[in-house]
Amino acid sequence: MPVAAASHPSRANHGPDLIRNLDLLVLLLGLPVFLLADAPISGYLAAGGAWIVGRIGVDVAARRRTEALRNGNRSAALGVTAFAVMGRIWLVAGAILLVGLLDEREAGLAAAVLSLVLVTVSLISSAVAQMLDPESKGALR
C-alpha cells in the first residue's frame, strides 16, 4: 500500500469510486462540447436530466437491493435490480424520443449521441472499478 494511502486510511480506496462516477464527469465535459458544436442544448438537457434522474434511481435501488439481500429476500433483490435497470433504459429512451419529437430532430440526435457516450463510459468504468475492487458491494450502475 502506498505511504499516502497508509497514512490516510479514508483515502485508501477512493479509486474505484471515482472511476464508477466517471460518467458524471463526461456529462459535465459534454456541455462545452455541445456549446462549441452548436448542438441543440435541449438535447443535452434532456439526456443529462434523464441520466441524472436514472443515476439517483439506481442508487436508491442499490440500497434497497442490499437491504433485501441482508434480509435474505433474493427475489425482491432481483426484482429491484431488474426494475432499476429497465427503468433507467426507458427513462433515457423516452427523453431522447420526447426531445426529438417536441423540439427538433437534431435535438433528439444530440441526446442520443450523448446518451450513447454516457452508457459506454458507465459500462466501462463499472467494469474497471469492479476489477480494481472485486470485494466491493457492487453497483447497478
pLDDT at 4 over 60: no
Q: What's the domain range around 116? A: 42-134
Nearest Cα to 44, choosing from 18, 26, 57?
A: 26
DSSP state of 140: -
**Total residue length of the chain:** 141
pLDDT at 64: 94
Residue 140 counted as domain residue: no
Identify whether the C-beta of residue 5 lies closer than 8 Å to the C-beta of residue 11. yes
Residue 28 Rama label (left phi>0; alpha psi -120 to 50; beta)? alpha
78: Cβ contacts below 8 Å, ≥ 6 apart: none
What is the average per-residue pLDDT within 98-116? 96
**Rounded percentage of the chain residues whose pLDDT exceeds 90:** 73
pLDDT at 1 over 70: no
pLDDT at 133: 77
CA dist., res. 27 & res. 29, Å (int): 5
Query: Model confidence at 5, in pLDDT bands (50, 70, 90)?
Result: very low
Identify whether the C-beta of residue 42 lies closer than 8 Å to the C-beta of residue 107. yes
Residue 72 counted as domain residue: yes
Task: Rounding to the nearest 10 degrees, give the CA dihedral for residues 114, 117, 119, 121.
Answer: -140
Residue 130 counted as domain residue: yes
pLDDT at 45 over 70: yes
Residue 106 counted as domain residue: yes
Q: How many distinct helices (H) and strands (E) make up the chain? A: 6, 0
What is the average per-residue pLDDT within 81-98? 95
pTM > 0.95: yes or no: no
pLDDT at 6: 44
98: Cβ contacts below 8 Å, ≥ 6 apart: 46
pLDDT in tens, 9-28: 454 566 777 888 899 999 99
Residue 31 counted as domain residue: no
Query: Model confidence at 132, in pLDDT bands (50, 70, 90)?
Result: confident
Residue 61 counted as domain residue: yes
Domain count across the chain = 1
